[in-house]
Structure 1
Amino acid sequence: MSEKRNLVLFIATSLDGYIATKDESLEWLFNVDGEGDNGYSEFYETVDTVLIGKKTYDWIIKHESGDFPYKNKECYVFSRSTIEDNEDVKFVNDDIVSFTNNLKNQEGRNIWIVGGGELLQSFIREKLVDELILTIAPTLIGKGIRLFKEGDYQLDLLLKGTRHFNQFVELHYQCKK
């Protein structure tokens, strides 16, 4: 049997743990001097499947111009509603544990958790996350949409490595099982 695929969070966050402002702005992120694409292209080549929460999917549709950004990947959007699939994504309202474990047992590359915080919370609570790659921006937002929601869980991590991209610092963790 082949090795299981990894479920990986790759995301940028402010130093105080926010992924967006209260009004869902990412302007603070674009004001930081990075280096190239801050490791995005390198990471993107390691995944063939993308998992997205419905709120994040709606944000992408509203704010991204041009083609859907993950067109060449298998994309699943978790939603509490039944929504018809489109050419870019399949909508899922199945049990998150069985759906994700089924994906992890299939042949393929890594599976990327694009967002958002509520979806991530579910994956963490169910101990489905294998790696966290956090790119920290040297910015304090003070309030906004938190990366990690408050909850009754604990996730122990093992630091795999660090890199920096000008003003950004990347922390790569493996989740202890």
Structure 2
Amino acid sequence: MSKKRNLVLFIATSLDGYIATKDESLDWLFSVEGEGDNGYSEFYDTVETVLIGKKTYDWIMRHETEEFPYKNKECYVFTRSTVEDTEDVSFINGDIASFINQLKSQEGKNIWIVGGGELLQTFIKEKLVDEIILTVAPTIIGNGIPLFREGEYQLDLSLKGTRNFNQFVELHYIVKN
């Protein structure tokens, strides 16, 4: 019997719950003193598939000057429009829940929700998220792009563990079913 793959949110947030400023800047995040890569490589090794919303994908493509950062992973970008697949990415514009449940039923490593907030809200509403790993920066930015959008949903969590990476604190939660 094969083990079901987990859908995991691994993301950094400000102490007041924002993933970026209103102008999509992450400068506040990079000004915090971390430790190594703050657990990123360790987490990345547990992942086989990467899920990205189209707005986040477009941001990555504007800001990554080298090569696509998830080149060695199976990568899906969710969009409402029809976009042709690339060498690195397959674009998905169908039924999100059935697509994710199909991915989760396959054997393999974890599935990572890279972002963004709109896609995450859909996953939460559809009860598709299995784990949340938040890395909290000791920064309050006042406003910006929220990690969790306002909506009609509730997610009950169980704390699996905490770690710190110098000034960052990682909170690891399992989603209760």
TM-score, shorter chain, exceeding 0.5: yes
Deviation at 1:131? 0.1
CA distance in structure 1 between the aligned counterparts of 2:130 and 2:114, rounded to whole angstroms: 14
| Counterpart residue number, 1:106 | 106
| Counterpart residue number, 2:18 | 18
RMSD: 0.4
Superposed CA deviations along residues 62-100 of structure 1, whole A, max 9, x for unmatched, are 011111000000000000001000001000001010000
Unaligned runs of 5+ in 2: none
CA distance in structure 1 between the aligned counterparts of 2:28 and 2:103, rounded to whole angstroms: 34
- Letter in structure 1 aligned against 2:31: N
Deviation at 1:3? 1.1
| Counterpart residue number, 1:46 | 46
- Letter in structure 2 aligned against 1:51: L
Aligned residues: 177
Give the SS at the match of 2:8: strand
CA distance in structure 1 between the aligned counterparts of 2:80 and 2:22, rounded to whole angstroms: 22
Give the SS at the match of 1:48: strand
Give the SS at the match of 2:41: helix
Unaligned runs of 5+ in 1: none
Deviation at 1:8? 0.1
What aligned pairs does 1:143-158 form with structure 2 within 5 A after superposition? 143-158=143-158
CA distance in structure 2 between the aligned counterparts of 1:65 and 1:105, rounded to whole angstroms: 35
Deviation at 1:25? 0.1
Percent identity at matched positions? Answer: 80
Give the SS at the match of 2:36: coil
| Counterpart residue number, 2:82 | 82
Superposed CA deviations along residues 126-177 of structure 1, whole A, max 9, x for unmatched, are 1000000000000000000000000000000000000000000000000001
Normalising by structure 2, we get a TM-score of 1.00
